[in-house]
Structure formats: structure tokens, C-alpha cells
Structure 1
Amino acid sequence: MGDEIKGKLRWTEGTQFIGRIEGESCAVVLGEGGISPMKLLLLSVAGCTAYDVVMILQKMREPIRGLEVEIIGERREEHPRIYRKVHIHYRIYGDVSKEKAKRAIELSQDKYCSASAHIKLSGAEVTYSFEIIPGKA
């Protein structure tokens, strides 16, 4: 059996909710005055793959100095309005090998990133591109 994660979401007023995962010190504001659940899902994909890429490049002993991930999602018109296309662009800072950067991204997308896997399972087409910016971030 896998890890069990517990969370709680509380309605505050209007269309605003505050969510918290048990054992975490931070909370997330959803809806009015916060972020929509579908936008949060998109950021979750970006965060998941960014974490993977940094960890993999560090294990490869690549001199990564920074990382930015831009993500664009396109949703269906009909309900449920799930993502049908997602494009992820990685901006990698440092004198990182192009081949190793590509391999780190492939490992994240094909093996490690659970959030990407979830949206792929819903039928979304996930594509990516990357650039390497030598030197410091």
C-alpha cells in the first residue's frame, strides 16, 4: 500500500477556501483571493518536474545554478474542463550538458513526475522544450 496523505479544505466565505495538508506548515488559498484548483494543478505539474530535474542533474554532478519552468495548459471547452494539452518549457541555468539536461527531463516526464502522469492518464498531450543558459542564474 502507498503513502497516505491527508488534507483538509475549509470554506471561509463567498468562493474562497483554505486548504492544508496534514503535517505541513503552509496553507493554500483557493478560489476568490487565491488560485483556482485547475491552475494549482498546472503549477503542481511544474513543481513536480522541476524538483525531479534539479535532483537528477545534481546526482549527475551537473553544475546547475538555477531553473525556471514555464507551463501552459489548454483545457477542453466541454465539462469536465480537463487539460487536453500541456507544454512545459525548462530554462536551465549553468554550464549543464545538453544531453544530460534532456535525459533528466525525459526521466522526470517518463518515470518520476507523478503529477505529469496524472494529467497524461486523463488523456492530455504533454510536450516540453528546454534551453540552457550558461553561467550563473
Structure 2
Amino acid sequence: MQAEVTWVDGLKFIGQSASGHSIVMDGSGGKTAPSPMEMVLMAAGSCSSVDVVDGLKSAGQRVTDCRAKLTTERRDTAPRLFTQIHIHFQVSGEALDPAIVSKVTTDSLEKYCSVCLMLGQGVEMRHSWEIIAADTDNC
């Protein structure tokens, strides 16, 4: 895997992936784009969400929505590393089995999500989940 990050101006950078996708990052506290630390957090959320949705579908669950809400604790002094990341999954679907939701969310953080597994080498990773009733008015 390869990527390139190019300085634009101030503390703004553009990152480009080898697959040709680009994203703007802002090192000045996220004033004009996500900060690099916000990008790390979103990477953990998206990576684990892929596992959750895929795991639920593979288990025959009819998942219709998945949200990962992430919160962190950071060191007070520089470098302001994450010390803890908590991912709260909110999943919706038709007759979702709580035991399966529990298993796939746990498996994501403990077995499959490469971003979370990598972060977990130096950060306390926690998760929780809930099943949110599907909005049947829009079906």
C-alpha cells in the first residue's frame, strides 16, 4: 500500500491514495478539513463498520443501517496521543439477533479490523453496541 501527502499551504495537506482517491487534511485543529487525528479516528470507525455490516450480512441478518460513534481520551501533553478509543455501534435492521450483533462487533475489534488492531497495540480499544429500531415509515 502506498500514499502521498502534499503540502498545499498553511497547515493544509492533500493526501492521495495509490487507488487515485484524495482527501484534504488540516493540521491547524481541523478548521477547514479533518485533522490527521480525526482521520485516524474515522479510519477506525469505517474499518470496523465494514466488518460489522459484512459480518451481519454473512450471518443472514437483514441490516439496514450502521453507525459508529467514536469518542476518545488523549494525553494532556504533547504528543497528544490517543489513550483510549470507544466505538459505539448503532445498527438497524429487520429482526436483528442481539447475540450476532454482539459477536460481529467484538470480532471486528479483536480479530478483523486492521486499523483497530494496529491502534490497539498502544491504545485501549473499547466498544459497545445497540440495536436501533428501523424506521418503517420509509419502507
Q: TM-score, normalised by structure 2?
A: 0.89
- Structure 1, 79-88 or 98-107: larger mean CA deviation: 79-88
Checking the alignment, whether the CA contact within 8 Å between 1:96 and 1:134 is kept in structure 2 is no
Question: Structure 2: how far apart are the matches of 1:133 and 1:41?
Answer: 26
Aligned to 1:98: 98
Aligned to 2:56: 57
Question: Structure 2: how far apart are the matches of 1:134 and 1:83?
Answer: 32
Determine whether 1:125 maps to 2:124. yes
Question: Structure 1: how far apart are the matches of 2:39 and 2:19?
Answer: 20
Aligned to 1:28: 23
Counting matched residue pairs gives 131
Q: Aligned with 1:33: secondary structure?
A: coil
Question: Structure 2: how far apart are the matches of 1:135 and 1:16?
Answer: 40
Q: Deviations over 1:59-87 (max 9, x none)?
A: 00101111111000111112322110111
Aligned to 1:109: 109
Question: Structure 2: how far apart are the matches of 1:52 and 1:33?
Answer: 30
The runs of at least 4 consecutive aligned structure 1 residues that moved more than 2 Å come to 134-137
Q: Is there any run of 5+ residues in structure 1 with no aligned partner, and where? A: none
CA shift for structure 1 position 96: 0.8
Q: TM-score, normalised by structure 1?
A: 0.90
Determine whether 1:18 maps to 2:14. yes
Checking the alignment, whether the CA contact within 8 Å between 1:63 and 1:96 is kept in structure 2 is yes
Amino acid paired to 2:48: T
Q: Is there any run of 5+ residues in structure 2 with no aligned partner, and where? A: none
Question: Structure 2: how far apart are the matches of 1:62 and 1:104?
Answer: 11
CA shift for structure 1 position 136: 4.2
